[in-house]
């Protein structure tokens, strides 16, 4: 049931958000404490504002009320992916070219599993970070376990 809810929310969001100049990033529906929380993460090239979140929350809330998809009380939250957002795929790495990122690999490369540096290059197979010591680290996507923007 939770997956069906997420699928409907994602489909609705992907049709709604482009008209508002926004992008779908992710959705979560989970039990937290005594209640359920439906979280929608949205994105905007210049950052997500409170106004963006309020408008999307109103539209999504109205849609969910009409569809009567969730048969129990829940809390709806709409927010940005955050400053230390996860990075998934070439398009997101390319979007943040020049920004600092932290990449954790599945298998070590050059004796390391964690690299922090500036996103220096992006292609179809890998992202390259320029590390603080001036050395570049090429990280193939299939070896990336986790990647996010770094505030360090």
What are the tens digits of pLDDT across the range 84-106?
899 998 999 999 999 999 999 99
What are the tens digits of pLDDT across the range 102-148?
999 999 988 899 999 999 999 999 999 999 999 999 999 999 999 99
- Give CA–CA dist 51/101, Å, rounded: 28
| Pair 139, 129: CB distance under 8 Å | yes
Question: In whole angstroms, how far apart are CA 133 and each of 116, 121, 137?
Answer: 11, 17, 11
- Number of domains observed in the structure of the chain: 2
- Residue 86 DSSP one-character state: B
3-state secondary structure of 10: helix
Torsion angle of C-alpha atoms 48, 50, 51, 52, degrees rounded to 10: 30
Q: What is the pTM of this model?
A: 0.81
Position 20 in a domain: yes
The enclosing domain of 137 has a CATH number of 2.30.30.100
- Provide the residue range defining the domain that includes 26: 2-79
């Amino acid at each position: 049931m939770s997956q069906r809810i997420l699928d409907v929310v994602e489909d609705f969001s992907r049709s709604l958000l482009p008209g508002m100049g926004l992008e779908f990033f992710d959705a979560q529906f989970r039990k937290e404490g005594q209640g359920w929380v439906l979280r929608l993460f949205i994105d905007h090239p210049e950052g997500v504002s409170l106004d963006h979140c309020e408008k999307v929350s109103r539209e999504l809330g109205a849609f969910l009320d009409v569809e009567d998809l969730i048969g129990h009380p829940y809390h709806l939250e709409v927010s940005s992916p955050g400053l230390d957002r996860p990075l998934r795929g070439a398009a997101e790495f390319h979007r943040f070219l020049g920004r600092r990122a932290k990449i954790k690999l599945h298998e070590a490369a050059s004796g390391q599993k964690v690299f922090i540096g500036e996103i220096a290059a992006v292609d179809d197979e890998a992202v390259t970070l320029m590390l603080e010591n001036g050395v570049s680290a090429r990280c193939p996507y299939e070896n990336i376990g986790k990647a996010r923007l770094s505030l360090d």
